[in-house]
Amino acid sequence: MKKKQFISAIFFVLSGFFVQASDEALKDEETSGDLKSEIKAYIRHHLQDTHDFSVGSYTTEEGKKKHIGFSLPVILWDDGLVVFSSGKLKHGKAVHRVGSKYYKLYHGKIYQTNAEGLISYDADKHVTNSKPLDLSMTKSVMTMLFTSALMFFLFRGLAQSYKRNGSIASGVGRFFEPIVLYIRDDIAIPNIGKKHYKKYMSYLLTIFFFIWFLNILGLSPLGINVTGNIAVTFGLALLTFLITNLTANKNYWAHIFWMPGVPVIMKIVLAPIELLGVIIKPFSLLIRLYANIQAGHIVLMSLIGLMFIFNNWLGSSLSFVLAFAISIIEVLVALLQAYIFTMLSALYFGFAVEEHEEAH
């Protein structure tokens, strides 16, 4: 009972932040007249990571744009630690001065500028201002922290219910127990083998639920796009890569550099291909998750935007039905992508700890 009250207390505290509206004194430059380009800008804004946690914005009658949400801290490393609230950047309008340096937010990235906030371009329309190292707590970081806290409470509750009731789970964790068992019996043991699977179970379980929860959160109207961010999936694939190669035994490296059981000339031919495979296998994990989630979000938001473009009874209702059907598929894709990532990671771990078999 105490755990439920604690979790609900946290939810209430967090939800209180959402009601606070931040004022915008200057007009937004992206309100162009054309509906299609406005929708495109909106979609692009939703796919990017923002430095403040805003769930939407609306324009008041005077033409001011108000954002619903709260500002997150901006943490930069620019020959020293610079911390300020992202509200000072005013969603890209204002230039913030810290000491002798000026910072401005442009298209989601923080650049160093001069006092007027000048962004200089080169011939290819790329920005040539220098960027400080951006370690801020952005919306994605907040979501990942929230998801890890959620997972921590859920599974700690499950583990403690085992302590209380013997081997019977109770509470919210009851839903996750068959999934945990499925990951152990059908993903970990067949791929890694009964001897070594316990080492990797914690990583596989974490990855599965982390990616699943983040994918589901990305489908909510809060506009949180975490796994559709290539940096996030890069980090996850990097973890799989590191764990595979750092816990591999001699057979694994022998299979890469000097494949046993083939003639010598084939061994020399196979070595660079296998070496490339070591990089490409986690890279495909990265691309698969990123592209699936990103493309799903783009398609879904474009279909919802199509509803507004049509603006009559027939077209809008058909677009709504299509968007609804695609949302259902996206829920399936969320689970499927988490499952595929976990299964392929387990497969790579199985390669790493494979024992020597006589008949190869």
Partner 1 sequence: MEIPAIVGAGLVVIGVGMGIGRIGGSAMEAIARQPEAYGKIQTAMLIAAALIEGIGFAALFAV
Structure tokens that stand for 144 in this block? 């990942």
Region binding partner 1 by CB under 8 A among candidate stretches 106-114, 146-154, 238-246, 333-341: 333-341
**Non-local CB neighbours of 315 within 8 Å, separated by 6+ positions:** 306, 307
**Nearest distance, CB of residue 325 and partner 1, angstroms:** 18
With binding defined as CB under 8 A, does residue 288 bind partner 1?
A: yes
With binding defined as CB under 8 A, does residue 120 bind partner 1?
A: no
Residue 46 contacts residue 297 (beta carbons within 8 Å): yes
**Non-local CB neighbours of 26 within 8 Å, separated by 6+ positions:** 90, 93, 94
With binding defined as CB under 8 A, does residue 47 bind partner 1?
A: no
With binding defined as CB under 8 A, does residue 268 bind partner 1?
A: no
Q: Which is nearer to partner 1, 267 or 288 (CB)?
A: 288
- Residue 354, sorted as left (phi over 0), alpha (psi -120 to 50) or beta, turns out to be beta
**Nearest distance, CB of residue 233 and partner 1, angstroms:** 12
Report CA-CA distances (Å) from 234 to 94, 119, 218, 286. Answer: 32, 29, 17, 6
With binding defined as CB under 8 A, does residue 287 bind partner 1?
A: yes
Q: Among 140, 244, 337, 345, which residue interacts with partner 1 (rule: CB under 8 A)? A: 337
Region binding partner 1 by CB under 8 A among candidate stretches 3-11, 24-32, 308-316, 336-344: 336-344
As a whole number of angstroms, the distance between CA 175 and CA 158 comes to 10
Region binding partner 1 by CB under 8 A among candidate stretches 20-28, 198-206, 283-291, 322-330: 283-291
Provide the 10 A C-beta neighbour count for residue 124: 5
**Nearest distance, CB of residue 210 and partner 1, angstroms:** 18
**Nearest distance, CB of residue 273 and partner 1, angstroms:** 18
Provide the 10 A C-beta neighbour count for residue 227: 30
Place of tokens 């209380």: 164
Q: Which is nearer to partner 1, 105 or 343 (CB)?
A: 343
Rg, C-alpha atoms of the chain: 25
Question: According to CB under 8 A, which residues from 64 to 93 bind partner 1?
Answer: none
Q: Which is nearer to partner 1, 138 or 294 (CB)?
A: 294
Q: Which is nearer to partner 1, 210 or 341 (CB)?
A: 341
* DSSP secondary structure letters along 174-219: GGTHHHHHHIIIIIIHHHH-TTTHHHHHHHHHHHHHHHHHHHHHHT
**Nearest distance, CB of residue 289 and partner 1, angstroms:** 8
- The single-letter code of the amino acid at 288 is R
**Nearest distance, CB of residue 288 and partner 1, angstroms:** 3
Structure tokens that stand for 359 in this block? 């008949």
**Nearest distance, CB of residue 192 and partner 1, angstroms:** 16
Question: According to CB under 8 A, which residues from 144 to 163 bind partner 1?
Answer: none
Q: Which is nearer to partner 1, 89 or 183 (CB)?
A: 183
As a whole number of angstroms, the distance between CA 112 and CA 78 comes to 10
Region binding partner 1 by CB under 8 A among candidate stretches 83-91, 150-158, 287-295, 317-325: 287-295
Report how many residues bind partner 1 under the rule CB under 8 A: 13
As a whole number of angstroms, the distance between CA 56 and CA 139 comes to 13
Question: According to CB under 8 A, which residues from 168 to 227 bind partner 1?
Answer: 186
Interaction site with partner 1 (CB under 8 A)? 186, 284, 287-288, 291-292, 294-295, 336-337, 339-340, 343
